[in-house]
Amino acid sequence: VQLVESGGGLVQPGGSLRLSCAASGFTFSAYEMGWFRQAPGKEREYVARISYSGDTTYYADSVKGRFTISRDNAKKMVYLQMNSLKPEDTDVYYCAAAGRIGTIILSPDYWGQGTQVTVSS
């Protein structure tokens, strides 16, 4: 099983980034997917999640209206489009997968290695 994130980097406040997560080794279309973030010394924070079919999405209040999660089951990819970025969005971003409905936030089955996002002028 692998989840490999990419797309992180340095961006100015107000800018945009698109994170990607490539999945392999499990039945991707049967898993709920999510994005999380974590700063050094802080707990990992839930950002967004998407149902296995892609029909339903949920967001943390801190990113609602600015971030969009999507998935492509044929390509086994999940994405996080991040717009209107703020310095407080600076974190390592992780994608995660959960095979049981309702468990993505508290107990995902798989984690990626993370990608750094830095928002700074």
Residue 89 pLDDT class (50, 70, 90 cuts)? very high
Q: Phi and psi dihedrals of 83, rounded to 5?
A: -115, 165
**pLDDT at residue 27, as a whole number:** 96
CB contact at 8 A, 32 and 104:
yes
- Quote the pLDDT of residue 46: 96
Task: Enumerate long-range contacts of 41-48, CB under 8 Å, 24 or more apart.
Answer: 44/94, 45/91, 46/105, 47/80, 47/93, 48/80
User: Would you say residue 106 has pLDDT above 90?
Assistant: no
Q: What is the pLDDT of residues 23-77, one digit of tens each?
A: 999 999 999 999 999 998 999 999 999 999 999 999 999 999 999 999 999 999 9
CB neighbour burial string for 72-89, b if at least 16 within 10 angstroms, e if fewer: ebeebbbbbebeebeeeb
